[in-house]
């Protein structure tokens, strides 16, 4: 049995932390990153894709799947279906069926947070007439194993939707646009899974799990089909070429948290697309299936 001191953090709105140290007795039951729930389907209902000129920006309903089919090969696919366009109107869709192939796997030892208790809106206080909520967390930092896998990824890329050009003096021209081709890139996936038997401070041999899943990637997009329906707009945007770049991440903090928070997945992406230039994309999704 090992003894750990834990911190109960009171996270306030303006960043003030307070902590109380206590002692627990713990026993490591499992330390195996392969046990983490890394097969899942995520749904985004309020995610955004915004380009610098708002030519094709939208709020979308999205879906993604990360699905290992062998020890090294993973289906990694994404779909976006916009339901609100920033003044452009019309129908749009983005499809990205792809795969990830693991080339190198390395293990490292580091602290894995294990949450013992979390209370949302545990307290509140008022300052300068504004009321702030206080969330509290009790957790242990257990020394565990992280597995980092590095590999290649790639797939098809298809994006179709409305496009607004302001390159003309008399009026903005609203038309349609299509980007199609492939993407190839590099990906890193980090996983951790520990299970502890904890006693002390009101706990008697209770099991707790600390785990995490993070995906980071960088892609080159090769899009030979860069079409705009209105030829006047296409001629004005031909200078953008056929190559794009992007980098992003997908993060599931702890798949074994509460039924609600354990299924929340955060994602963000930044890049440059032909015709549309610099863009930001991201949102908070919910895992409708995990295994």
Residue 262 is assigned to a structural domain of this protein: yes
Q: Choose among 176, 186, 182, 175: nearest CA to 158.
A: 182
Assign residue 236 a region: left if phi > 0, alpha if psi is -120 to 50, beta otherwise?
A: alpha
For residue 45, the enclosing domain spans 28-109+145-192+210-290
Residue showing tokens 């109960």: 8
Residue 97 banded pLDDT, cuts 50, 70, 90: very high
Quote helix, strand, coil % in the chain, to nearest 5.
5, 75, 20
Residue 120 is assigned to a structural domain of this protein: no
Q: Choose among 28, 34, 215, 35: nearest CA to 107.
A: 34
Residue 12 banded pLDDT, cuts 50, 70, 90: very low
> In this model, does residue 22 exceed pLDDT 70?
no
Taking the complete model, does pTM exceed 0.85, yes or no? no
Burial class from Cβ neighbours inside 10 Å (0-12, 13-18, 19+) for residue 243 reads middle
Burial class from Cβ neighbours inside 10 Å (0-12, 13-18, 19+) for residue 186 reads middle
Residue showing tokens 């020890």: 71
pLDDT number for residue 10:
37
Residue 201 is assigned to a structural domain of this protein: no
Q: Count of domains in the chain? A: 1
Question: CA 144 from chain center: how many Å?
Answer: 23
Q: Choose among 110, 118, 109: nearest CA to 208.
A: 118
Residue 23 is assigned to a structural domain of this protein: no
Distance CA 129, CA 127 (A): 5
Residue 249 is assigned to a structural domain of this protein: yes
Number of H helices, E strands in the chain: 1, 13
Rg (CA), the chain: 23
CATH code of 61's domain: 2.40.128
Residue 235 is assigned to a structural domain of this protein: yes
- DSSP H or E run through 105: strand 98-127
pLDDT tens, residue by residue, 29-43: 999 999 988 899 999
Q: Choose among 284, 151, 145: nearest CA to 215.
A: 151
pLDDT number for residue 211:
92
Residue 8 is assigned to a structural domain of this protein: no
Residue 13 banded pLDDT, cuts 50, 70, 90: very low
Residue 49 is assigned to a structural domain of this protein: yes
For the beta carbon of residue 70, count every other beta carbon within 10 angstroms: 8
């Amino acid at each position: 049995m090992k003894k750990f001191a834990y911190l109960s953090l009171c996270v306030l709105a303006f960043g003030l932390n307070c902590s109380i140290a206590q002692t627990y007795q713990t026993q490591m039951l499992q330390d195996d990153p392969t046990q983490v729930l890394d097969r899942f389907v995520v749904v985004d209902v309020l995610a955004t894709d915004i380009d610098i000129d708002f030519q094709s920006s939208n709020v979308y309903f999205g879906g993604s799947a990360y699905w290992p089919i062998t020890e090294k090969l993973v289906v990694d696919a994404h779909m976006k279906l916009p339901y609100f366009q920033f003044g452009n109107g019309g129908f749009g869709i983005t499809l990205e069926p792809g795969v990830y192939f693991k080339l190198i796997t390395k293990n490292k030892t580091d602290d894995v947070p294990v949450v013992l208790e979390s209370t949302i809106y545990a307290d509140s206080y008022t300052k300068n007439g504004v009321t702030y909520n206080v969330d509290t967390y009790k957790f242990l930092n257990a020394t565990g194993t992280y597995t980092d896998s590095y590999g290649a990824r790639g797939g098809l890329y298809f994006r179709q939707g409305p496009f607004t050009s302001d390159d003309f003096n008399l009026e903005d021209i609203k038309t349609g646009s299509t980007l199609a081709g492939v993407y190839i890139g590099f990906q890193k996936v980090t996983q951790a899974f520990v299970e502890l038997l904890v006693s002390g401070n009101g706990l008697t041999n209770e099991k707790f799990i600390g785990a995490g899943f993070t995906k980071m990637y960088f892609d080159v997009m090769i899009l030979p089909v860069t079409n705009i329906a209105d030829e006047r707009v296409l001629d004005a945007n031909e200078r953008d070429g056929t190559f794009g770049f992007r980098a992003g991440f997908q993060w599931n903090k702890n798949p074994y948290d509460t039924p609600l928070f354990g299924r929340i997945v955060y994602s963000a992406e930044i890049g440059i697309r032909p015709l549309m230039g610099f863009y930001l994309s991201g949102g908070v999704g919910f895992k409708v299936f995990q295994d």
